[in-house]
Structure 1
C-alpha cells in the first residue's frame, strides 16, 4: 500500500493489484471522500453536481441511465426557456427611464441579466456533466476548459444574485427610514456597489478555476472514456472554500432578513399611525368599532405591495434554505441511499426558481413596475395579443 497521487485524489491511499492493469488498484479515501478515485467530495458545502448524479448515471440499468440523463438535460432546458421569458420582461421593465432614476432599478436590471446567465450556466454545466461522464467528450483541453469555466460561472452568477437582492432590501429600508434621503438610492452609488459585488465575487471564487480539473476515470471501460469534473483542494483552500460558500449564503440572508423585519415594522407603524388618527376622530360607537376593524383590515389590503416587497427580496435565500440545511445534515455521508441524493438534487434545482420566475416575483406584485412594463414595446405587444385572445373567446361564446 502506498500513496498514489497520480491515481487517487485527495491524498487517498492506493492498494496495488496487478501493476500492468490500469484498473488493478483500490483507493482508500480520506474522511468525506468517496468514489473509485476519491473524486466525490461530500464535505460541508462541497457537494458538486457530479457527486449527486454519478450513482444514477452509472446505474446498472440502461433504462435508468437513459431516463436520468434525459431529465438532467430536459429540466434545465425548460427552466432556461421559462427563465428567458421572465428575465427578458424584467430587463425591459427595469431598462426604462423611471425605474433607473433610483438604485433599485439598476440592481434589478442587473439581476435579470445575471439570472439568465445563471440558468445558461446550469444548462451547459449539466449537458457537460452528462456528456463527460458518458465519455462523449474526447477532446481533453475542451473538456478541462468547460469543467473549469462552467463550474466557476455557475457559482459566481448565483452568488451575485443573492448579494444584489440584499442591496435592494437595504435601499428599501433606507428610503423608508429617510424619506428625503438621496445618497444610497443614487444611481451612481448603485452602479459602484454593483461593480464592487461583481468584482468581489469574481475574485473571491477564482480558486475554482485553478483547482477544478477534468480527470479520466481509470475504472471506466476501454470503450467509454468517462471523465470527472472534480476539485482537489489543498486543506487550507478547502477551508477557505467552505467559509466562502457559507459567507455568500449567510451574509445576504442576514441582510435580507434584518432589512425585511425593519422595513415591515417601519411601514406598519407609519400606516397604522395614520389609520389610528382617523379612527380617533370619530366617537366610539358600536358602528365605529366595526369601522375600526375594517380600517385595520384595509390597512393591510391597501399597502400589501409595500408589505410584500421586503418579503419578496428574501425569496432567493428562502429557496436556497433546503439545500443549506441538507448540506449541513448530510455532510460527509456517501449518499448511497437514493432519497438523500434525490432530496439534494431537488433542493439544488429549487434554488434556481427565483431566477426562473423573476417577472412574477419582482414586476407582477408592483403596480408601478407593471405599468412600466406595459409601456414597453414587448408589453404593448403582449397586451395586444391578450386582447385578441379575449375578443376571440367572447366571439366564440356569443356564437355558441
Structure 2
C-alpha cells in the first residue's frame, strides 16, 4: 500500500498504523500491520510504502479482507481518525493500494449508528466512506469489542489498539519507541532553540540524531535564525478578510523566485505580520482582488514596517488596454506595455494574468514573471466551521491555511460566535479601548461611556435604595404587588452594580496594572459571571414588573373576592422560583460560553461555540423576555382602564361611557405611561442586538452606545416609576422621611441635654 499524506497541522507528529483485517470473522483478526511516523513539517506531501502479508499462501479468496488505517497524534497521544480500504480483487497474486489521506484536526466522528453494538468501545464513522465500526477501548477487541485482550506488554503511557499473532499493537508517546514503547527517546539538552520542538531520530527520515520543528517565526537546523518580519497596515482601504503577499527575490544568476504567503485578518485586526525565511526585494500585496506594491528594496532587511494605500495600487491590465491588445498573444503585448509606461507617467505598476510590470523612473516597463494561483481553495472540506471559506497558500504543501469567517465569527476555524448573549458592551465598545492607556487618554467614546456609566450608577443606586426602603415596610407588603416591587428593587440595584462592574472590568482587561493571572481572572469573571448575571437580573426585573401588572388585573377583575393573603403567598413562591427558572434558561448559553484570546490584536472577547440551534434559542429568549412582559403590562393597563370604566358607567349613568373612560384613563395613565417609556428606552437596544454586525468601526457607534445605556434607564428609575405615581407608596416613603427626622431630632436633643 502506498500512502500519500497531507495534514492541516504542520507542527504535529502522527503515528500511521495500517492493519490487514479479516472482515468475515467476529474476532476481526488483524493478520498483519505496519506502523510509520509522519511529520508534516519535515515532509509535507509524504509518500510511504507499507507491506502487509496475507496469513496463508495461497490466500483464501472466499474471505473478505480490508485495510484499516488508524492515525494518532503522538504529542498529545490523541486519536485523529480511521480510513477503510477494501481489497476487491483477491484472485490477483499481489494487491496494490494507492491512496491519499488528508489528516484534519477534526476527523474522528462518533456516531450512534452502532453504539448499541459496541460493548467496550465507541462507534466511529470512517473518514473516507459511509461505514461505521467499533473502535475498542484498550484491553478489548472484536467486531463488537466484546473479546478480552491482554495489553499488559504495552508501556502504561501508550495506547493499545489491538493484537496481531498474540502480540500487542502499541502506539507510543513521542518520548518512547519500540514494539512495547519501553525504550526512551530523548533529545539532547537545548537541542532546539527558540521553543523549537525536538523530534528524535527514530521518528525522522533525517540522517541526524534529531530534527527541530520550528515555529513560524524561526528557521534553521536548530531554529536558531529569525525569519524576516514584515508588518503591513492598510490605509484608506476597506479591511479585507485576508491578505495575500507575493515575495519576489531577484538574482543575476537565475530567474526571479516567487513565494506566496496568505494571512487572515481577524475581526478587529489592523496590521498584518508576515514571516519570511528567504531574503526578498519586492512585495506585492493582494487585498479585495486588487494588487498593491508594498515594498521595493535593493538590500533585504530583517524587519520592515510598511503600509499600502490606493496610491500604490497596481492596476489590472484589463482596465488599461482595449480588447484588441488583450486578445493578442501574451509575448506580443510587451510593446504595448512599454508604450503604456511611456505615456502614463502617473502609473507605477500594473498586473496581467502572468506578469507584474513596474514603470521605472525612466518610464520603461520592467516586467517579471508572477506566479499566481487561480484557486486558493483548500482540499480539505472539514477544516473550517460555520460555512467559513477555507483558503491555503499552496495547492499541495501550504504553509498557511486560513478560514475566512462570516460576520461575528471568531477563531482559527470560525468556531466562536460573538453574539451568543445578544448585544454586549464588549462588541459595541471593545475595540475603542486602547491597551495600557489610562482613562484620561482613552478615546472620547470610552471617556463619555465612563461618565454616563457612573451617572446611571449613582442615580440607579439612589433609586434602588429608596425603593428597597419603601417596599420593605409592612404596609406596602400587604399584597403581592409590594413583594414583587421589593424584589424588583433588589434586582434593579443589582443591575446597577453589575452594569458598572461590567464597564470597569472591561476597562481593566485592557490595562497592565494587574498580574497576568489576575488579568485572566478578571476577563473570565467579566465574561462567564458578570455578563450572564447582568442579562438575567435585567430580565428578572421585567418579569417582576409583569407580575405586578398581573396582580393588579386580578384585583380589578375579582374585586371583593380578591384574596390578598393568597396572592401574598403566591408572590413569595414566584419570587423564589422565578430566578431559579431564569438561571436554568441561561444554562445552554453558559455551557458554550468561552473567552477567545485574539493574540494578534491583544484582546479578549466573550464568545460562544456556535450552532444554529443555539442562535435560534438565543434570539427566541431575547424576544420572549422583551415582548412577553411588555405585552402583559399593556394588556393589564388596557383591561384595568376598561373594566373600571364599565363599573363606573353602571353606577353613574349621568355621564357617557367615553367621559368615564377619560376620567379613568387620567387616573390610571401611569399604567400606560410606564410601558410606553420602557418601549421607547429599550427598543434601540433590541434593534442593535439584531443589527449589530461586529465590524471594527461603524458610523452607528454612537447609536449603539446610546441604545445600550438607554436600556438601563428603566432599572435605574424604579423609584420614580413605581413609588412617586402611587399615593400609597408615596405616603409610605414620606412616613420613612418623617420617622428619620424624628430620630434625628430626638438624638440631637439627647446630645444637647448631655
The offset of 1:10, in angstroms, is: 6.4
Matches of residues 1-400 of structure 1 in structure 2 within 5 Å?
11=386, 27-33=403-409, 41=417, 46-57=422-433, 65-134=442-511, 138-139=516-517, 140-183=520-563, 186-220=567-601, 225-274=602-651, 276-278=652-654, 299=663, 304-312=666-674, 315-328=677-690, 330=691, 333-335=693-695, 338-376=698-736, 380-381=740-741
- Partner SS, residue 376 of structure 1: helix
Partners of 2:592 and 2:385 in 1: CA distance: 12
Question: Going by fraction, where is strand more abundant, 1 or 2?
Answer: 2
Partners of 1:248 and 1:257 in 2: CA distance: 15
TM-score normalised by the chain length of structure 1: 0.76
> For 1:359-391, what per-residue CA distance to the aligned partner results, in whole angstroms no more than 9, with x for missing partners?
111101111111101111587449999xxxxxx
Q: Is the 8 A contact 2:595 2:606 kept in 1?
A: yes
The offset of 1:325, in angstroms, is: 3.3
5+ residue gaps, structure 2, are 1-6, 9-103, 107-263, 267-383, 395-399, 746-754
Q: Is the 8 A contact 2:421 2:589 kept in 1?
A: no
> For 1:300-322, what per-residue CA distance to the aligned partner results, in whole angstroms no more than 9, with x for missing partners?
5xx74433235425644542222
> For 1:294-346, what per-residue CA distance to the aligned partner results, in whole angstroms no more than 9, with x for missing partners?
x869835xx74433235425644542222223434x25x34466342321221
Partners of 2:736 and 2:725 in 1: CA distance: 18
- Partner SS, residue 178 of structure 1: helix
Cα–Cα, structure 1 residues 128 and 354, in superposed 2: closer, same or farther, change >3 Å? same
The offset of 1:353, in angstroms, is: 0.6
Q: Quick check: 255-264 or 70-79, which moved more?
A: 70-79
The offset of 1:87, in angstroms, is: 1.1
The offset of 1:278, in angstroms, is: 4.4
- Partner SS, residue 633 of structure 2: helix
> For 1:18-42, what per-residue CA distance to the aligned partner results, in whole angstroms no more than 9, with x for missing partners?
9xxxxx8865113553799969957
Cα–Cα, structure 1 residues 339 and 35, in superposed 2: closer, same or farther, change >3 Å? farther
Q: Is the 8 A contact 1:259 1:310 kept in 2?
A: no
Aligned residues: 357
Match of 1:287 in 2: none
The offset of 1:161, in angstroms, is: 0.6
TM-score normalised by the chain length of structure 2: 0.42
Q: Is the 8 A contact 2:630 2:675 kept in 1?
A: no
Q: Is the 8 A contact 1:10 1:232 kept in 2?
A: no
5+ residue gaps, structure 1, are 19-23, 281-291, 386-400
The offset of 1:70, in angstroms, is: 2.9
Q: Is the 8 A contact 2:419 2:607 kept in 1?
A: no
The offset of 1:194, in angstroms, is: 1.7
Cα–Cα, structure 1 residues 10 and 372, in superposed 2: closer, same or farther, change >3 Å? farther
Partners of 2:714 and 2:575 in 1: CA distance: 19
Q: Is the 8 A contact 2:403 2:412 kept in 1?
A: yes
Partners of 1:335 and 1:218 in 2: CA distance: 18
Q: Per chain length, whose mean CA-contact separation is higher, i.e. which structure has more relative contact order (CA < 8 Å, sep 6+)? A: 1
- Partner SS, residue 559 of structure 2: coil
Cα–Cα, structure 1 residues 254 and 77, in superposed 2: closer, same or farther, change >3 Å? same
- Partner SS, residue 277 of structure 1: coil
- Partner SS, residue 474 of structure 2: coil
The offset of 1:171, in angstroms, is: 0.8
The offset of 1:132, in angstroms, is: 1.8
Cα–Cα, structure 1 residues 192 and 126, in superposed 2: closer, same or farther, change >3 Å? same
Partners of 2:414 and 2:739 in 1: CA distance: 52
Partners of 1:374 and 1:70 in 2: CA distance: 38
Q: Is the 8 A contact 1:267 1:307 kept in 2?
A: no
The offset of 1:217, in angstroms, is: 1.3
Partners of 1:172 and 1:74 in 2: CA distance: 38
Partners of 2:647 and 2:729 in 1: CA distance: 23
- Partner SS, residue 509 of structure 2: helix
Q: Is the 8 A contact 2:641 2:661 kept in 1?
A: no
